[in-house]
C-alpha cells in the first residue's frame, strides 16, 4: 500500500469516527465496525485514530476532514464514503436525530464541494436521499 493510499484510508477513518460521535456517544456496534475498518486498513496501531474512539470529535472537525477528502475524491470514492457513513450510522440499529442531521449536512457539503465531474451532484443527491430514506425506514421499524 502506498503512503498516499494509507493517508486516504486514515482520512476515511477520521471521518467515520467523527461521524460516529454525532450523537455524543459510541455504541458497541459502532466501535466494532470502526475496529474492523482499522484492521482492514492496517491502522490498528495508529494511536491518534485509537484516541478518536475514546474522545468525542466535534462536528466541525469532522466536516473539515470531509472537505479535505472530497477535494481529491472522484465520483466513486465519494459514493463509497457516503455508503460507509450510512452503514456506520445504522450499525447500532438506532439512528438518532443528530445522526440524521449529520447525514443531511454531509450531503449538502458534498453538493457544495468542487469536484471533477458535473454529474456528481445529481448522483450524490440521489444516493444521499436514498440513504436518508433507508435510515428513516430502519428507524421506524426499530421503534415498532
Question: pLDDT at residue 106 above 50?
Answer: yes
List CB contacts of 100: < 8 A, sequence separation 6 or more: 132, 135, 136
* Mean pLDDT for all residues in the chain: 81
pTM: 0.74
Give pLDDT tens digits for 2-28.
888 889 999 999 999 999 998 888 989
Of residues 13 and 125, more confidently modeled: 13
Sorted by where each starts, the structural domains of the chain and their CATH numbers stand as: 3-143 (1.10.3680)
pLDDT of residue 119: 46
Question: Are the CB atoms for 57 and 100 separated by under 8 Å?
Answer: no
Q: What is the largest CA-CA distance in the chain?
A: 47
Amino acid at each position: 500500500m502506498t503512503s498516499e493510499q494509507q493517508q486516504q484510508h486514515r482520512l476515511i477513518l477520521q471521518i467515520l469516527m467523527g461521524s460516529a460521535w454525532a450523537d455524543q456517544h459510541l455504541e458497541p456496534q459502532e466501535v466494532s465496525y470502526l475496529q474492523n475498518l482499522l484492521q482492514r486498513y492496517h491502522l490498528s496501531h495508529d494511536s491518534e485514530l485509537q484516541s478518536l474512539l475514546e474522545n468525542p470529535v466535534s462536528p466541525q472537525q469532522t466536516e473539515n476532514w470531509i472537505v479535505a477528502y472530497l477535494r481529491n475524491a472522484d465520483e466513486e470514492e465519494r459514493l463509497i464514503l457516503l455508503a460507509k457513513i450510512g452503514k456506520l450510522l445504522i450499525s447500532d440499529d438506532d439512528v438518532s436525530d443528530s445522526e440524521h442531521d449529520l447525514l443531511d449536512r454531509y450531503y449538502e457539503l458534498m453538493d457544495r464541494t468542487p469536484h471533477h465531474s458535473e454529474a456528481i451532484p445529481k448522483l450524490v443527491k440521489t444516493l444521499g436521499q436514498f440513504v436518508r430514506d433507508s435510515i428513516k425506514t430502519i428507524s421506524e421499524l426499530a421503534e415498532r
